[in-house]
Structure 1
């Protein structure tokens, strides 16, 4: 019953833990990524060298951008990268295949280095240059791009790290010598060169392991959201009083009374574009709070492991493995059987713990969807997440051939758009996917959420619908939801 690296390659979880690698799922990406700030501030000299390597490559891109003679072929070769899907980390909606760094990212990076960040690598306010600076100015360059870019730039290290583990801890039948493209950058030839490595190999592809202490979740330590939310703190920290007053006057004179949070963020973004020096002052503040970056990332990684690895493993081992959960049927009956089986385990057999971390229930529907996806590891059915067939994405399409398809939607009861979703969504999806089978699963955590859902269903006259399943995730009158506490 394979879900995780340790399952597929028959290695003890404690061995992975001792090596420092995250035990990734080989069913679906988990929401972690490498934060380059953790490399910069690391006490590990190898990590510091990796960060310098990243900055050196960006300096190369800065210099070639400054020539003004780059062709599209140059941009494609030096600025564009495919996703390194073999690390099974990131933001893929289904499996482990993301979009990678396409033309938009490449052109934005080229433009920023050529025009706005011509002094990249020669900053005077910050302790070091940072890749994240390039992601602060443009809303179109986000955490997924940062993740893909960093992973590509340190891929040689990750491959060597994985190869060492494979040689020392895996049986020979689980390891294969594979050729990998674009492993290292040859400065003299100005091109990326391939390499060959002995790596874990399964289902027609190799797997890359990643050290836990370079990972984080949600946002990098240096991120655009914190910059825009704290714009006033940033410019008030500037020692130059004249500049500080100038920025304050620009921002406050344009801030309308009664402005919403979105209004403030839009104005903050305009202010940063008008005064790019704010970027360096923001980054310096982040550098000065480096110890908090490590504490925060360590907690986030531990939370992710507890929620998506430890609790899912426990749920499968104690309640699902070897049961009727894995019997066959058509797509609708099998999907409904799994939902009902999970409902019973969640409500009556401590399965509800999977939705809690540190006594707090999950707040994102994406996490609910991912947790459900991880339980589909032993089925002949094709399970696709976020399928978009022209009328918007649906959480899952479960199918066996073209004639047998069922759509499964997962919702949290706290979703402010739940009424609209229930009224319109599934009918539209059914027409778009040419199927009449659909299931909607709603998870609630409080009495008030349950009351709200029941009222919506009664108002819409669907309270008797058999394809709408409510799951009680309340921890009231149950043992403590917290399985592990993290500092």
Structure 2
């Protein structure tokens, strides 16, 4: 069976990646994000306390939200009428976040293995100023696990208090699922002594003004 598959792949040859459409957002994420950040700057100095760091992180997330919802960034998260995978949302967020982190002298690391598995993003400036972000599609079958298990475990492992759970919605069904999360966040924070906040990223397609 294995030999048949190998023979099949050899006969078929390598599949070319469509660079123009860039379906997995391998390269467009950085250039678009950098362009947006350059024209929508944050007026912050490098953080000197954990609270200041988390404030900047939340502002970066807010910029990403504006980019997706108001700056037509949602178009990057769709391909041929279908929503793209979770990893694409993560890459696009990285594209927006990296320039802001450079402006404020914050280190951003993607998919850092903290012992309990890789967290999506870790922001830090020294050992005392750190925050984590987990990005999940509301349609992900492990959506609830990301909030109740993954992110809290990462935070316990690193002894980090501040975290943000970013939820990307592609449909009204996704949005309804998100609406049940508020009470759960409060419970997770109460049980663990964390400061986890949530942010909704509405990536549903918009109608152009000419079609309204």
TM range (shorter): 0.7 to 0.9
C-alpha distance after superposition, 1:193-244 (max 9, x if no partner): xxxxxxxxxxxxxxxxxxxxxxxxxxxxxxxxxxxxxxxxxxxxxxxxxxxx
After TM superposition, list the pairs within 5 Å mapping 1:173-252 onto structure 2: none
Alpha-carbon separation, structure 2, partners of 1:332 and 1:297: 41
Offset of 1:422 from its aligned partner? 1.2
Scaled by the length of structure 2, the TM-score of the pair is 0.77
- Cα distance, 1:411–1:395 mapped onto 2, change above 3 Å: same
Q: Look up the match of 1:286.
A: 12
Q: Please report how far the alpha carbon of residue 342 of structure 1 lies from its aligned counterpart in structure 2 after TM superposition.
A: 1.3
Q: 1:453 to 1:282 in 2, by over 3 A?
A: same
The structure whose RCO (Cα within 8 Å, separation 6+) is larger is 2
Is 1:372 the equivalent of 2:93? Answer: yes
* 1:325 is aligned to 2:42: yes
Q: Where do residues 259-408 of structure 1 align in structure 2 (5 Å cutoff)?
A: 271-272=1-2, 276=3, 278-279=4-5, 281-283=7-9, 285-286=11-12, 297-299=16-18, 301-304=19-22, 307-310=25-28, 312-317=30-35, 319-325=36-42, 327-328=44-45, 329=47, 330-363=52-85, 365-375=86-96, 376-377=98-99, 378-379=102-103, 380-408=105-133
Give the paired residue count. Answer: 194
**Which of 471, 480, 487 is residue 201 of structure 2 equivalent to?**
471
Q: In the TM superposition, what is the alpha-carbon distance from 1:310 to its structure 2 partner? A: 4.5
CA distance in 2, matches of 1:366, 1:342: 15
The 1:461/1:436 distance shift into structure 2, 3 A limit, reads closer
Secondary structure, in 3 states, of the residue corresponding to 1:386?
Answer: strand
Question: Which ranges in structure 1 are unaligned for 5 or more consecutive residues?
Answer: 1-270, 288-292, 481-487
Q: Report how far residue 467 of structure 1 moved.
A: 1.1
Does 2:162 correspond to 1:437? yes
User: Is the strand fraction higher in 1 or 2?
Assistant: 2
- TM-score under structure 1 length normalisation: 0.36
- Residue number in structure 2 paired with 1:460: 184
Larger Rg: 1
- Per-residue CA distance 1:164-220 (angstroms, 9 max, x = gap): xxxxxxxxxxxxxxxxxxxxxxxxxxxxxxxxxxxxxxxxxxxxxxxxxxxxxxxxx
Q: Following TM superposition, where does structure 1 have runs of at least 4 consecutive aligned residues deviating by more than 6 angstroms?
A: none
Q: CA-atom RMSD, angstroms?
A: 2.9
Structure 2 Cα separation of the partners of residues 302 and 441 of structure 1: 28
Change (3 A) 1:403 1:298: closer
Q: Which residue does 1:247 correspond to in 2?
A: none
Give the unaligned 5+ runs of structure 2: 188-194
Structure 2 CA distance, aligned partners of 1:306 and 1:422? 25
| Displacement of 1:462 | 4.1
